[in-house]
């Protein structure tokens, strides 16, 4: 799968150390992230211009250049240009056309966003609208990117867990609908702990799931009857080849009614039976919107 030109949230910023490059993928596009001499996070194509070794297996030098593990060529984050070749003499200059493709990056709300298109023609600035999360998670899901979008729009409780809350995937407030460049689904939810023999006619809590076209970046909010927000999350989903989707979550949740510490996160494994029950009703709408 070729990465489409979007802002993709490819990492939690806190996961990018100063001394080591980090490999990330968006579809078939392999990128190396590292901190340059100013501490900013840079993104380059993860393939050395010399013999194509992955730069992510190298190191970050004291000057903030990423150094190839094979023969030691060193690259600058801002331009992608090769700035040093170890076996050159002091008189030899690195040709200006030696380099790898650089990508535009932004740090927003603790996420590293990479624009996978032309650096000189970036789209609207990215936003996660999640500036004070209490939880951050990352998990590789064994499903295609489009299936992730379908699950979040049709059966979000398969992926998402909120402490003290039972998400009612079978109670939907209306059909999924388009809102600008996203598809929105709303579900009922209840405080857990009560025995539930059948679905309530009017659940006290509402889970709203908004899945953006293309990237499937997902905003989730949970509100009570007074319309007070009691949990929220942003989930960034990046395809990793055909059958794996990397999901990174940042979120918060208020403590439950019994004072239990709140938790919000991605479930450790997929419930295969629940996945099989997913209606994928919203998927055609999401795919059509993504193709625009």
Residue numbers at the binding site for ligand FES (CB under 6 A)? 48, 50-51, 53, 68, 70-73
Phi-psi region of 116 (alpha: psi -120 to 50; beta: other; left: phi over 0): alpha
Judged by beta carbon, residue 75 or residue 187, the one nearer ligand FES is: 75
CA distance 18 to 40: 10
Dmax over CA atoms of the chain, in Å, equals 81
Judged by beta carbon, residue 50 or residue 106, the one nearer ligand FES is: 50
Judged by beta carbon, residue 54 or residue 144, the one nearer ligand FES is: 54
**In Å, how far are 6, 34, 111, 134, 137 from 126, measured between CA atoms?**
9, 20, 10, 21, 20
Q: How far is the CB of 77 from ligand FES (least distance, A)?
A: 16
CA distance 180 to 187: 20
β-partners of residue 264 are 162
Judged by beta carbon, residue 33 or residue 55, the one nearer ligand FES is: 55
Q: How far is the CB of 53 from ligand FES (least distance, A)?
A: 4
Judged by beta carbon, residue 68 or residue 162, the one nearer ligand FES is: 68
Q: How far is the CB of 58 from ligand FES (least distance, A)?
A: 8
Neighbour count for residue 120 (Cβ, 10 Å): 6
Q: How far is the CB of 94 from ligand FES (least distance, A)?
A: 12
Q: How far is the CB of 71 from ligand FES (least distance, A)?
A: 3
Judged by beta carbon, residue 51 or residue 260, the one nearer ligand FES is: 51
Judged by beta carbon, residue 45 or residue 154, the one nearer ligand FES is: 45
Q: How far is the CB of 56 from ligand FES (least distance, A)?
A: 12
Q: How far is the CB of 21 from ligand FES (least distance, A)?
A: 13
């Amino acid at each position: 799968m070729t990465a489409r030109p979007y802002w993709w949230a490819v990492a939690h910023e806190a996961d990018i150390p100063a001394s080591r490059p980090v490999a990330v993928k968006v579809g078939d596009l392999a990128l190396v992230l590292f901190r340059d001499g100013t501490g900013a996070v840079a993104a380059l194509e993860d393939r050395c211009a010399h013999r194509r070794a992955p730069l992510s297996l190298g190191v970050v030098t004291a000057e903030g250049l990423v150094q190839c593990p094979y023969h030691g060529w060193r690259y600058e984050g801002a331009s992608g240009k090769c700035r040093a070749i170890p076996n050159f003499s002091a008189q030899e200059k690195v040709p200006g056309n030696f380099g790898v493709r650089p990508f535009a990056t932004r740090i927003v709300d603790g996420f590293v966003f990479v624009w996978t298109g032309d650096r000189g023609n970036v789209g609207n600035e990215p936003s996660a609208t999640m500036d004070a999360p209490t939880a951050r998670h990352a998990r590789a899901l064994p499903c295609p990117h489009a299936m992730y979008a379908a699950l979040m729009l049709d059966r979000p409780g398969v992926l998402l867990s909120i402490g003290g809350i039972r998400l009612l995937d079978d109670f939907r407030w209306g059909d999924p609908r388009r809102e600008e460049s996203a598809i929105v689904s709303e579900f009922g939810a209840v405080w857990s702990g009560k025995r539930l023999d059948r679905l309530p006619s009017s659940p006290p809590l509402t889970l709203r799931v908004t899945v953006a076209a293309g990237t499937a970046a997902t905003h989730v909010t949970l509100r009570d009857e007074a319309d007070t927000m009691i949990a929220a999350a942003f989930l960034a989903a990046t395809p990793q080849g055909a059958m794996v989707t990397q999901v990174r979550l940042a979120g918060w949740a208020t403590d439950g009614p019994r004072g239990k510490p709140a938790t919000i996160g991605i479930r450790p494994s997929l419930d295969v039976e629940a996945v099989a029950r997913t209606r994928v009703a919203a998927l055609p709408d999401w795919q059509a919107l993504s193709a625009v």
